[in-house]
Amino acid sequence: MEKGIILKVRNLNVILDNQSIIENLSFEVKRGDVLTILGPNGAGKTVLLKTLLGLIPYEGEIEWAKGIKIGFVPQRLPFIKDIPLSIKDFFNLKGVPEKEIEAILNSMGFKEDFSRKRIGDLSSGQFQRVLIAWGLLGNPHVLLFDEPTTGVDISAEETIYIFLSRLKEERDLTILLVTHDLSVVYKFSKSVICLNRLPICYGSPEEVLTPKSLQMLYGGEVRYYKHTH
């Protein structure tokens, strides 16, 4: 694999229940990039993320650079509230040393006694932050992030994207992010894949997100595209 490339995908095809979910997708991710996977609901974005994680069978080629550690931030965990689980318990499930858990909690601005809180008692912003911390345990090089809840502020000062930008700088992370929120792409990412089963565009947002490609992606008139002022 060429230097600086962290992930290479060639002619990826995913078929689930006899239905083609992703067709002929090829792209590359460089170290330190933020790649957004953009598309409407049901476009195969989450499937792509899971395929990259090795959770779903596929045809084609997915090649991660050697020795790369991947952290996964899931979208939702609907069953987590069925169990009395403190934040610390949740992190312990990952089997990383206690010290590392404390370090992550500190670096994310959680206070000491916060880790004893029940997951079920967290606000959605706090829960989102806990999920990101989960992804960061084990010091991954790449963070795969499935559709952060947009509109949820992670703390009084930060939206989730400001928070992620800060994390990326601090930890030299490469981030792959699934979203259907167009504003995120412009604010946050270096490159974008537009996906609606078939790949529709791939490149830097400024170059590839044209009214035409967005119309193809979302099927109708799309009014939002980059404001130049």
Partner 1 sequence: MDIQFLLSLIVGISIGGVAGYLGSLMLGRRMALVAGPLGHLTLPGIALAMMYDFDVSLGAFPFVILGIILIWLFEMRTKLPMEALTAIVFASGVAIAFLLLPIKQAETALVGDITKVNLEESIVSIILTFFIFFVIKRIYSKIVLINISEELAKSEEVNIRKYNLIYLGSIAIIVSLGVKMVGGLLTAALVAIPSSSSKNLSRNLTQYSFGAMVIGIISSFVGILIYKITGFPAGPLIILASTAIFLISMVLKK
**DSSP letter assigned to residue 65:** P
Give 1 or 55: the residue with its C-beta nearer to partner 1: 55
How far is the CA of 51 from the CAs of 44, 56, 83, 181, in angstroms?
10, 5, 28, 21
Residue 130 CA to residue 87 CA, distance in Å, equals 7
Contacts of 89 (CB under 8 A, 6+ apart): none
Q: Which one among 4, 11, 42, 55 touches partner 1, defined by CB under 8 A?
A: 55
Q: Applying CB under 8 A, does 69 fall inside the site for partner 1? A: no
Q: Applying CB under 8 A, does 84 fall inside the site for partner 1? A: yes
Q: Which of residues 140-179 bind partner 1 (CB under 8 A)?
A: none
Q: Give one word for 225, left, alpha or beta, with left for phi > 0 and alpha for psi -120 to 50.
A: beta
Q: Applying CB under 8 A, does 118 fall inside the site for partner 1? A: yes
The least distance separating partner 1 from the CB of residue 155, rounded to whole angstroms, comes to: 24
- Nearest Cα to Cα of residue 133 among 51, 69, 74: 74
Q: Applying CB under 8 A, does 80 fall inside the site for partner 1? A: yes
Give 68 or 77: the residue with its C-beta nearer to partner 1: 77
Residue 164 CA to residue 177 CA, distance in Å, equals 10
Judge residue 81's burial from the number of C-beta atoms within 10 Å of its C-beta, 0-12 exposed, 13-18 middle, 19 or more buried.
middle
Q: Which one among 86, 149, 155, 165 touches partner 1, defined by CB under 8 A?
A: 86
The least distance separating partner 1 from the CB of residue 48, rounded to whole angstroms, comes to: 14
Q: Which one among 17, 95, 99, 157 touches partner 1, defined by CB under 8 A?
A: 95
Q: Applying CB under 8 A, does 68 fall inside the site for partner 1? A: no
Q: Applying CB under 8 A, does 122 fall inside the site for partner 1? A: no
Question: Does residue 43 contact residue 185 with C-beta atoms inside 8 Å?
Answer: no
Give 78 or 220: the residue with its C-beta nearer to partner 1: 78
What is the contact surface with partner 1 in residues (CB under 8 A)?
50, 53-55, 70, 72, 74, 77, 79-80, 82-86, 88-89, 92-95, 116, 118
